Each structure stands twice: as C-alpha cells, then as structure tokens.
Amino acid sequence: MKKTYVRYDINRACQTILQEQLEELGIGYEVEDLGEIIIQKNVPAPLFLTLRNNLQRYGIDLLNDQKGQLIQRIKNTIIEMVGRDKLPMSKISCYLAERLQMNYNYISAVFSEYTHTSIENYIILQKIERAKKLLLQELSLTEISYLLSYSSVAHLSGQFKKVTGLSPSAFKKIISERKKIAYTN
C-alpha cells in the first residue's frame, strides 16, 4: 500500500460543491465574492431545506443571521487578503473597514464577541497557514517574511513557533522526512 498526499484549495472545493448543488437543484444563482452568492429568485422552503441538508454533508452551512454573515465576510476578506501576492500597505483595520464598508470598531467587536478571539489573532493564524504552504513551495524565510509583511524573519519565526510549536526549519524537516517515508513505501 502506498501513501499519497493530497493538496487542495479549500475555497475552490467549497465553491465547486456549492455550484454543483445549486445547479443540481435547478436554483439560479450568481457568485458575488468568496463565500457570497445571490440566489436569483425565491426558492420554495422544501427546496431550500434540501440545499441546506446537501451542503451540510460537506460541512458547508448557509448563514441566515446578519452577524453570522458578517463574521464569515470578515474571515473571507482576511483569507483573501493573506492570500494575495503582497499584503496591503495600509493598516489592516483601514483595509477591512473599507472592504466591508463598516466601522472597524464595530467589525472588531462583533468578531471578538462571536469567535472569542480577536481579528489580529485570526490574521496571525491565517498568515502562519500561508507561511506553511510557502515553506512547502521552497520559498526562503526572507521571501515569506516579505510576502506576509513581517517586519523581520525573526518576527515571522517567533510567531510561527508560537502558533505551531515548531520553528519553520523544524516544520520543513518534518515534512521532508514524511515525504521520504511516503516515497519509500
């Protein structure tokens, strides 16, 4: 038996599942933004329930409440921001307020109340997840530090270790060893 690793883009996978389910049920839609769709006409309650149940099998929830939708929009905006070639030069609070067209203090308060963490902590977690992917693509810590707008390689390394419990080099070594084992089996 041979072990195989899978790399996937969770956002693309969710979008594809969502589109397939909407099309299968004959529900007209438009994709607005990451995690946002516009259903073009009223959907009968039983059909909407079928859609909701089908999506829940994949761990995808349709959000109806305003604050739940706002939390998801904040998360999607952060994920999109961290995934860019270079993070915005403006303050992140200004960036989020502008993109979401809301007061940052309100955004921050709602996010903290419902997720029990701060926007800043969520951004750090997303940056470290991106750093892991970039390390696997053989980018140097200097390049990663620049792409993720860290003030220094030491700052990136410190946050990486705090979040993962490993230094970036230890992380790369473990992944490299796992790949060697997988290729020899």
- At 81-118, the pLDDT tens digits run 998 877 777 788 999 999 999 999 999 999 999 899 99
Q: Is residue 19, in this structure, part of any structural domain at all?
A: yes
- The per-residue pLDDT for range 24-48, each reduced to its tens digit, is 999 888 877 666 777 878 888 888 8
Q: pLDDT value at position 150?
A: 92
* Domain extent for 57: 9-62
Distances, alpha carbon 142 to alpha carbons 35, 122, 149, 165, in Å: 32, 22, 10, 20
Q: Is residue 148, in this structure, part of any structural domain at all?
A: no
Our count of domains for the chain comes to: 1
Q: Is residue 17, in this structure, part of any structural domain at all?
A: yes
Q: Is residue 37, in this structure, part of any structural domain at all?
A: yes
* Mean pLDDT score of the chain: 87
If you search the block for the tokens 């038996």, which residue do you land on?
1
Can you give the pTM of this predicted structure? 0.69
Amino acid symbol at 185: N
- The per-residue pLDDT for range 141-176, each reduced to its tens digit, is 999 999 998 999 999 999 999 999 999 999 988 888
- Phi, psi (5° rounding) for residue 63? -100, 125
